[in-house]
Amino acid sequence: MIGKVNHIGIAVRDIGRSIELYRDVLGLELISVEDVPEQKVRVAVFDAGATHIELLEPLGEGSPIARFLEKRGEGMHHIALETDDILGEMKRLRERGMEFIYEEPQKRLNHYLITFINPKSAGRVLIELCQPLNER
């Protein structure tokens, strides 16, 4: 079952400057800053009440976030919906015509299993499904 919005991902060019905005100006609590080498991205996570905001900075030219910034500029990149059964949800959504960027869920820093629904099958919105792991 798909539950709450886990986080909203925002593509940024300069994570340091963006952290200043979200932490110092908006007053959100910075939870962590982590590199995710397998996705070629640096992620800053903020507590925004019932959800999180993730700032996404590319770690190099080959990063999907770098391509996104080239095409669209800074801004909302994706919305992540939480599930407690990512494999079951992928099966159910495939049966309803959804296509995925990753055919199998990927592990993200021992915190989550994730996959993305292809925007072509989701109204041009990049939707991440994430299943929290117990290691967190």
| pLDDT of the chain, 136 residues: tens digit per residue | 898 999 999 999 999 999 999 999 999 999 999 998 888 999 999 999 999 999 999 998 889 999 999 999 999 999 999 999 999 999 999 999 999 998 899 987 678 899 999 999 999 999 999 999 974 4
Report all structural domains of the chain as residue ranges with CATH numbers, in order of start. 2-132 (3.10.180.10)
- β-bridge partners, 112: 108, 132
Report pLDDT for 134. 76
CA 107, CA 49: separation in Å to the nearest integer? 25
Report pLDDT for 108. 79
Contact 9, 125 (CB under 8 A): no
Token code pair at residue 69: 């910034």
Bridge-based pairing of strands 51-58 and 2-11 is parallel
Phi, psi for residue 77 in degrees, rounded to 5: -105, -50
Verdict on whether the full-model pTM lies above 0.85: yes
Report pLDDT for 136. 40
Report pLDDT for 38. 84
Helix (H, G, I), strand (E, B) or coil at 113: strand
